[in-house]
Chains A and B, each alone.
Chain A
Amino acid sequence: MVVVTEPKVRDRPRTAPASAPEVSRTERRESRSPLRWALLGLLFVVMIVPVYLLVVNAFKSQQDILDSPFSIPLSGMTFEHMSAAISNPQYNVIGGYGFTLFLVITVDVLCIALAGPAAYAIARSLKKRTQLVLLYFLAGTFIPGAAVIIPVIYVLREIGLANTVTGLVAHDVASTLPVSIFLFVGFIRTIPVDIDHAATIDGAGRYRTFWTIIFPLMRPAVVTVLILNSIGIWNDFISPQILLSPSSGHYTVTTAIYAGISQYSTDLTKVFPNLLLAIAPVIIFFIYMQRHIISGLTVGAVKG
């Protein structure tokens, strides 16, 4: 029965194909407009110049950065500051990758493990009180995380998780649950209930039905949630900064950058290489996954 219904479900998240000749005609008209190219040129320059400055200045001496920030360092190119940034024992961005990656993966796995079954139970229940649980989670999207982080410290202290990695992970998972559950519930509701019934008749329990039948069908929603959460956790600054003190010995890319750059903000040979180290992997990942990231992030907002 899975074989029969799978294509139907998989089709759903895609948008309807626009009629082909129509698109190409408007397209051709669009590309002729000089205003369009002027706007696109402006967009390109404004968006790319900062990145260009970042890349070229990461390989220059302080004097070269100050004298000619825009030039490509053909003659005076130096890897000295870059290697200093890579091997800096104090505020090591590369060292931050490891812990940040660990954080992202742990939070992603736990979030899916908790949000998946919860969303399934909510989506498949017809009871009013279960729907109230969804509203309860939705209310969480109104809570400004940064503004209530101080009470979070208070609660973590009470349950003995203050200043621990477990505490940070627990807080991050809790903060990713509302949006994840919201997206999952919406998606599960588009999967026909008949599939669940067939599985039940075949003797599968509810957990088994969810993890072996429904979860694989939720791939688009899972990918969206993974992308959303990963970007959010990777870029988060406030939670690791406030929930993990420097004495814990753990730092993420953002907290390492903060500790390093806020001290040496006038030394551009420290600023540019460190920023490049922090941004480069993200940009490479983005270029590689660009299509998935962009389509994944729009699913919830446009359909909802």
Chain B
Amino acid sequence: MVELAELTRREPRSCAASAAPGSGRRRAHVREAAVTFGMMGPAVLLYTVLTVVPVGVAIYLSFTDWDGFSTAKVIGWENYQHLFDDPSSTDAWYVTAMITAIGTASMVGAGLMYALILKGRSRTNSFFRAVAYFPHVISALILGYLWAAILGTNGAVNNTLATFGMEPIGFLFDEKFALYTLIGVIVWAGFGFNVVLFVAALQTVPAELLEAAAMDGASRRQINLRIVVPMIAPVITVATVLNLVGLLRAYDIVVSLTGGGPAGSTQTFTYLILARSFEGTKVGYATAQAVFLMVVSAALALVVTALRNRQDQAATG
């Protein structure tokens, strides 16, 4: 019995094998492998066929001039070269970069601020956390329509301004404002997730530590900046990566809030990709953009994580 426990601790899957007499061990091993394969197989198969293969197809198509109907012809790196000299593509990059950068900074910042004042375990606090969080359970498409109905030319805000005899504000129709309106709505919809994430992290910070700092005469601000925030740094990294990767893909809310307009001033990269694909003429080019987006989002996530790790190492070592 002792021997069995010893063996199984090292290789849990071979329980059955080690219990069987010597000659059957090999066969039992094969059976074990078959069972493992049987458990993972269906998931691996489905994931491969419908997630990994499409990525492979995308990479292939990105080197072709496929229009969606005729046979694809391989044209090498042409699509990728086109990415950098095509004005609509560079415009979409500008829009996406603005949304991603301003959006992530505001969402993490606002999230942290509200998490610090809502971290306590009281009824009031959990009520306000829920208030900040609720848009996260609603479809971005629907939130976009709601805000369009509020901020549009006939929307509640401009109608109210009109009653006071003021000029309407082109939140969604003025090229100067539309992108910032879009970012504002995205932040409104998404910062609550960060609040909730940071509150969960803050609640794991030991109270004794904060008490000790307070006894040493540290102000609340010092405690927050020097102790609390560094302690939840890993979660801040996770939140930053999630926000960055999520915002790079912004699509639904663009469709419903601005439809990419006015004059393409709010066209994100994903919006452009799907619009292109459905014109049905430049599928090859659109998939090159999709592949590029994928590479950028993976790279961004890795860079943020790596930077953070280095900073952590510098701080501890």
Nearest A residue to B157 via CB reads A69
What's the least CB distance linking B2 to chain A, in Å? 13
Choose from A175, A258, A301 the contact partner of B238 (Cβ within 8 Å): A301
Among listed B76-84, B98-106, B114-122, interface-contacting one: B114-122
> A36-B117, A118-B39 are known contacts. Are A254 and B50 too (CB-CB below 8 A)?
no
* Count of B interface residues, CB-CB < 8 Å: 105
**Interchain CB contact under 8 A, A16 and B204:** yes
Instruction: State in angstroms the CA–CA spacing of A151 and B4 once bound together.
Output: 50
Which B residues are in CB contact (< 8 Å) with A253?
139
**Interchain CB contact under 8 A, A47 and B131:** yes
Instruction: State in angstroms the CA–CA spacing of A142 and B305 once bound together.
Output: 14
> A43-B132, A152-B54, A265-B148 are known contacts. Are A114 and B251 too (CB-CB below 8 A)?
no
Contact of B92 with A by CB under 8 A: no
Contact of B166 with A by CB under 8 A: no
What's the least CB distance linking B224 to chain A, in Å? 12
Choose from B8, B36, B114, B294 the contact partner of A147 (Cβ within 8 Å): B294
Instruction: State in angstroms the CA–CA spacing of A65 and B129 once bound together.
Output: 31
List 14 A-B pairs, Cβ < 8 Å: A23-B121, A39-B114, A43-B131, A53-B149, A69-B160, A118-B43, A147-B270, A171-B50, A207-B35, A237-B139, A237-B255, A261-B145, A286-B134, A287-B130
From 5 to 38 in chain B, residues with beta carbon under 8 angstroms from any chain A beta carbon are 5, 8-13, 15-16, 35-36, 38
Nearest A residue to B239 via CB reads A301
Interface size class of A (residues with CB under 8 A): 35 or more
Contact of A22 with B by CB under 8 A: yes
* Chain A binding surface, main DSSP class: helix
Chain B residues with a Cβ under 8 A of chain A:
4-5, 8-13, 15-16, 35-36, 38-40, 42-44, 46-47, 49-55, 57-58, 61, 113-114, 117, 120-122, 124, 126, 128-142, 145-150, 152, 154-156, 159-160, 163, 188, 192-193, 196-197, 200-201, 203-204, 207-208, 210-211, 235, 238-239, 242, 245, 248-249, 251-252, 255-256, 269-270, 273-274, 277, 283, 286-287, 289-290, 293-294, 297-298, 301
**Interchain CB contact under 8 A, A22 and B43:** no
Listed residue (A207, A261, A291) with the most chain B CB atoms within 10 angstroms of its CB: A261
> A148-B290, A266-B154 are known contacts. Are A155 and B50 too (CB-CB below 8 A)?
yes
Instruction: State in angstroms the CA–CA spacing of A238 and B152 once bound together.
Output: 24
**Interchain CB contact under 8 A, B207 and A177:** no
Given A148-B290, A290-B130, A295-B200, 13 other A-B contacts at CB below 8 A?
A26-B120, A43-B114, A53-B156, A66-B154, A125-B36, A147-B294, A174-B50, A200-B8, A237-B140, A258-B141, A265-B152, A272-B149, A301-B239
What's the least CB distance linking B26 to chain A, in Å? 17
> A69-B159, A177-B47 are known contacts. Are A22 and B207 too (CB-CB below 8 A)?
yes
**Interchain CB contact under 8 A, B120 and A148:** no
Listed residue (A16, A18, A47, A294) with the most chain B CB atoms within 10 angstroms of its CB: A294
Which B residues are in CB contact (< 8 Å) with A73?
none
From 267 to 304 in chain A, residues with beta carbon under 8 angstroms from any chain B beta carbon are 268, 271-272, 275, 278-279, 282-283, 285-287, 290-291, 293-295, 297-298, 301-302, 304
Which A residues are in CB contact (< 8 Å) with B132?
43, 47
Choose from A114, A142, A297 the contact partner of B46 (Cβ within 8 Å): A114
Nearest A residue to B10 via CB reads A126
Which A residues are in CB contact (< 8 Å) with B269?
147
> A66-B154, A237-B139 are known contacts. Are A133 and B297 too (CB-CB below 8 A)?
no
Contact of A11 with B by CB under 8 A: no
Contact of A160 with B by CB under 8 A: no
Nearest B residue to A21 via CB reads B207
**Interchain CB contact under 8 A, B49 and A159:** yes
**Interchain CB contact under 8 A, A150 and B277:** yes
Which A residues are in CB contact (< 8 Å) with B283?
150
**Interchain CB contact under 8 A, B57 and A46:** no
Contact of A97 with B by CB under 8 A: no
**Interchain CB contact under 8 A, B146 and A147:** no
Listed residue (B47, B49, B273) with the most chain A CB atoms within 10 angstroms of its CB: B47
Instruction: State in angstroms the CA–CA spacing of A293 and B121 once bound together.
Output: 17
Which A residues are in CB contact (< 8 Å) with B154?
66, 266, 268
Instruction: State in angstroms the CA–CA spacing of A200 and B7 once bound together.
Output: 13
Listed residue (B13, B128, B137, B270) with the most chain A CB atoms within 10 angstroms of its CB: B137
> A114-B42, A125-B13, A147-B294 are known contacts. Are A254 and B139 too (CB-CB below 8 A)?
yes
**Interchain CB contact under 8 A, B134 and A275:** no
From 141 to 157 in chain A, residues with beta carbon under 8 angstroms from any chain B beta carbon are 142-152, 154-156
Contact of A117 with B by CB under 8 A: yes
Which A residues are in CB contact (< 8 Å) with B140?
235, 237
Instruction: State in angstroms the CA–CA spacing of A254 and B270 once bound together.
Output: 18
**Interchain CB contact under 8 A, A193 and B57:** no
Nearest A residue to B293 via CB reads A147
Instruction: State in angstroms the CA–CA spacing of A2 and B96 once bound together.
Output: 52
